[in-house]
Chains A and B, each alone.
Chain A
């Protein structure tokens, strides 16, 4: 079943019978619902570090929003779900620059926007535009931030990445992790690192290694057996 995906022209991730297009930027798109899902934007992570004395370049929010704008332009979704940890800390939204606010508001025009709360942003204010929720169910699919392993679940939180090695060379990239019944989204934020899909955290969700890493290459998404990755 998953083998067929590797040869599909549009790479896709299937969860509980629903097929989502896997966008190279790290987003899922549900065509029938015109629903776009992104996870772990971690806006204002740069300024969060700066508060603690590590002066990372303050451009991450603008970079993340620009990529988000490009994905939205590609798919023109009716609804956008931000799957939690959209803001890096509880006061991050207060540090958004006026320009970034304007860019975010522009993305929300003429579409529904759902902020799922995450562990980094558990108490989102009501004035971000759109609605705030802990989780959302649409048809057989449940969207929540932290994965539980339930069937039909699409979650984020873990920032999956996969490393593929051959003959002494290695490529390490962000990826979607899915076994057909549940999926974990890659992180979307410009400053977000990753956790290897071979970490025990993934074993708790997928039980076995019989899941697929949909790895983001430079030009396309590659479906690779998790057992082949490190």
Chain B
């Protein structure tokens, strides 16, 4: 028995004590703590590492309550006007961000329920649940319902929501740290606010990995009231044994750039051989594809190594998951599709290939190794280039200190609120005043101004336009008591089809067919049909011409043709794909880790912990130019071939650097430096030009302080946003989530291309005619943190003000080499379309002139 947590007979009934003992377990302290919180009717946040029995802790109070002899027969019956009688009513609602997790948990709960013969009915409700069972669930709810935020939103928008949820006692939120960082978290917070009104007696339990600011999550779990900070109680489980994290001490030469870690392939393979089951995390689908393919090329022992990422066909993913659970695999190459806590059995080593990006992200990945708490998890970091060595070192230090860098609490977004308001109008009619109060009880919306709320109502009703021409087309209308409800049943139907905040990039199906011997992409002559390999982003395919090769599904394929929403590819004999799709990393380097990397660089004594090759590289930089100090920005200029380069090292992540690159090239254009392009990586930005920037700076014609002044976030930013493809993508997401443009239509199924209305056209028109429209405001708020990362850029410009250190060089510096190598490898950013079109036009001229010879 666990000495620190003697079982209190008051807390845990004998039946449960016997069940624990029979399995050779004893209840953990945090499990009993949560039980005590439940008996005191307190909401609580449990922070526990993977493998700490988090799920059981979350459900134990419910099982104990439902297992106890009922003191009263059944709760009162709420009339629905349908004359339905019911059993006990819904007791506990469990919400998980992953459908698969809900199903997994349901399976795990069956065991204690069956063992102890508890009179408890558990059911799941996901997108896959058949209609008949969903209808039954609404009439005869189970005791415990496991579902997703989207399904909850649907249930809440139905007329019988009050009936269904009035008996609710407990709400359990799994993987809360992952949920709250996204718009899904906003949607769920609004649903939670609704549940608190329907079931004021219900308490909430949040289950989370370790986070930087537990108070954010504690507030999320409680209804907020103006002026007060209501927080759920905090229960922290024992952290378990500290993980053992090492950096791969490679015998090979460390690459200057790239994210594939090809140099360490043999060493990674040796690690797989030396362990039972290894999980290899990479940051992008493209990296996963490449690593998987490379490993099989050297897999002389025929080890069972599999691939798992979100774009693969579902059937194929399930196959990998099952093989994993059965212990048949030696290694799995995966992306964040395996970040969250589904239990895949015994993993004894996590190999993180490439940059860790964030300390908390790394810790969660490491937690996937070894689900037994008392043994340390083991992980090996494999940096793919020299900068990543610094990042890995900083991350390992952060893990040792258990320093977290999860993002701060979001401010609830307005597009999600619009979707929620429409959902509310689908149920019982609401008064704007009451809904405003309810919405503000959700933590992300606690500070929502009334003006914004009213704009959202106006948007949902008639589009929120300055021109009031759509009154007769209103989607929601006020009744004579001033309460809002949907104008007609079609609106309700459309809401149901479009609920949710996950906006996928437009995807195309990839099918494998037999290739043509030659051909230049005329459609036709391709056998339709073919084996489904998975899905790929439309924008990636749009950049290809037939004949281009790329890696997909673990092999090099040749792009043959595009027909409607299907991409036809054939097997290719090329060893190397022609078109790389290194998306440097889906997640930007966290601010915290960037800070640590800067500190590490600035402190020469700390270089002792770095590999010789890296130390040598940095020493050359010291001798030749300068290594950036902790708060300063080093800017270098130098000539190379017939161009002039400016390289700076902000360490703020690719996204912020790309935005900086767009704005700098605009300013350099105005200064007549004739910039040609730029390329960004996680650490640095390189801009090249025809004009001699070195001499311009020397002669005072280019002022670096002015160039990097924060005022670039004013007019320059506005002008760029007008045409930025990234901003248009951001707007598209808001337009779809808010319900301005439906993603799915009622009635007969039409092909996506026929019905989709281009949100780019809407963006252009709206921006010109009503720049303060609520959707543009929502998109700008997203741009601050999303694809454009403007807030981070703004913080950086503040940090370096007056701290720019300039070095005029006669050639490239050692520190600049990695970003210079990205040129030509990364798609060069720049939205100058005319150059690309002119290039194609030149070909026509050449072709015609050649024909006249």
| A→B interface (CB under 8 Å) | 1-3, 6-7, 47, 49-51, 53-60, 62-63, 97, 163-173, 190-193, 198, 209, 212, 215, 217-220, 222-225, 227-230
Q: Give the number of chain B interface residues (Cβ < 8 Å).
A: 57
From A57, A97, A193, A223, give the contact of B844 (CB < 8 A).
A223
Structural contact, A167 and B840, CB atoms closer than 8 A: no
From A59, A219, A229, give the contact of B769 (CB < 8 A).
A59
Cβ contacts under 8 Å, B773 to chain A: 57
Structural contact, B840 and A164, CB atoms closer than 8 A: yes
Cβ < 8 Å to A, chain B residues 832-853 = 832-834, 836-845, 847-849
How many angstroms between the C-alpha atoms of A62 and B769 in the bound complex? 9
11 contacting pairs across A/B (C-beta < 8 A): A3-B847, A6-B841, A53-B473, A59-B765, A59-B770, A166-B839, A170-B543, A190-B761, A190-B764, A218-B834, A228-B840
Structural contact, B761 and A217, CB atoms closer than 8 A: no
Structural contact, A57 and B766, CB atoms closer than 8 A: yes
From B521, B764, B840, give the contact of A222 (CB < 8 A).
B840
Residue on A nearest B766 in the bound complex, by CB: A57
Structural contact, B845 and A224, CB atoms closer than 8 A: no
A-B pairs with lowest CB-CB distance, top 5: A3-B848, A55-B463, A59-B769, A217-B834, A168-B543
Structural contact, A58 and B768, CB atoms closer than 8 A: no
Contact flag A225-B827 (CB < 8 Å), given A56-B757, A58-B469, A218-B834 = no
A178 CB to closest chain B CB (Å) equals 13
List 19 extra interface pairs beyond A222-B841, A228-B843, CB under 8 A: A2-B848, A6-B845, A54-B740, A55-B475, A57-B463, A57-B465, A59-B766, A59-B769, A97-B469, A167-B827, A168-B540, A168-B579, A168-B827, A170-B542, A190-B764, A191-B765, A217-B834, A217-B837, A225-B847
How many angstroms between the C-alpha atoms of A188 and B542 in the bound complex? 24
B544 contacts the other chain (Cβ, under 8 Å)? yes
Contact flag A60-B765 (CB < 8 Å), given A6-B845, A165-B543 = yes
B481 contacts the other chain (Cβ, under 8 Å)? no
Cβ contacts under 8 Å, B768 to chain A: 59, 63
Structural contact, A3 and B845, CB atoms closer than 8 A: yes
Cβ contacts under 8 Å, A164 to chain B: 836-837, 840
Structural contact, B841 and A223, CB atoms closer than 8 A: yes
Contact flag A190-B765 (CB < 8 Å), given A224-B840, A228-B840 = yes
Structural contact, B833 and A171, CB atoms closer than 8 A: yes
How many angstroms between the C-alpha atoms of A163 and B520 in the bound complex? 15
B432 contacts the other chain (Cβ, under 8 Å)? no
Residue on A nearest B469 in the bound complex, by CB: A58
B205 CB to closest chain A CB (Å) equals 40
A201 CB to closest chain B CB (Å) equals 13
B467 contacts the other chain (Cβ, under 8 Å)? yes
At the interface, is chain A mostly helix, strand, loop or mixed?
mixed
Structural contact, A55 and B542, CB atoms closer than 8 A: no
How many angstroms between the C-alpha atoms of A47 and B471 in the bound complex? 11
Cβ contacts under 8 Å, B467 to chain A: 58-59, 97
B463 CB to closest chain A CB (Å) equals 4
Cβ contacts under 8 Å, B543 to chain A: 165, 167-170
From B769, B832, B838, B849, give the contact of A63 (CB < 8 A).
B769
A176 CB to closest chain B CB (Å) equals 13
B471 CB to closest chain A CB (Å) equals 10
How many angstroms between the C-alpha atoms of A180 and B146 in the bound complex? 65
A85 CB to closest chain B CB (Å) equals 16
> Contact mask B454-467 → A, CB, 8 Å, 1/0?
00000000110101
Structural contact, A57 and B770, CB atoms closer than 8 A: yes
Structural contact, B741 and A54, CB atoms closer than 8 A: yes
B337 contacts the other chain (Cβ, under 8 Å)? no
How many angstroms between the C-alpha atoms of A182 and B104 in the bound complex? 63
How many angstroms between the C-alpha atoms of A44 and B470 in the bound complex? 12
How many angstroms between the C-alpha atoms of A87 and B402 in the bound complex? 64
Cβ contacts under 8 Å, B523 to chain A: 198
Cβ contacts under 8 Å, A163 to chain B: 542
Question: A170, A227, A229 — which one has the most chain B CB atoms within 10 A of its CB?
Answer: A170
A170 CB to closest chain B CB (Å) equals 4
Cβ contacts under 8 Å, A47 to chain B: 469-470, 473
Cβ contacts under 8 Å, A230 to chain B: 521, 542, 545, 562
Structural contact, A165 and B545, CB atoms closer than 8 A: yes
A111 CB to closest chain B CB (Å) equals 27
B786 contacts the other chain (Cβ, under 8 Å)? no
How many angstroms between the C-alpha atoms of A56 and B738 in the bound complex? 12
Contact flag A56-B845 (CB < 8 Å), given A63-B768, A171-B833, A227-B520 = no
Structural contact, B475 and A53, CB atoms closer than 8 A: yes
How many angstroms between the C-alpha atoms of A76 and B838 in the bound complex? 29
Residue on A nearest B467 in the bound complex, by CB: A58
Cβ contacts under 8 Å, B837 to chain A: 164, 171, 173, 215, 217, 222, 224
How many angstroms between the C-alpha atoms of A220 and B849 in the bound complex? 22
B817 contacts the other chain (Cβ, under 8 Å)? no
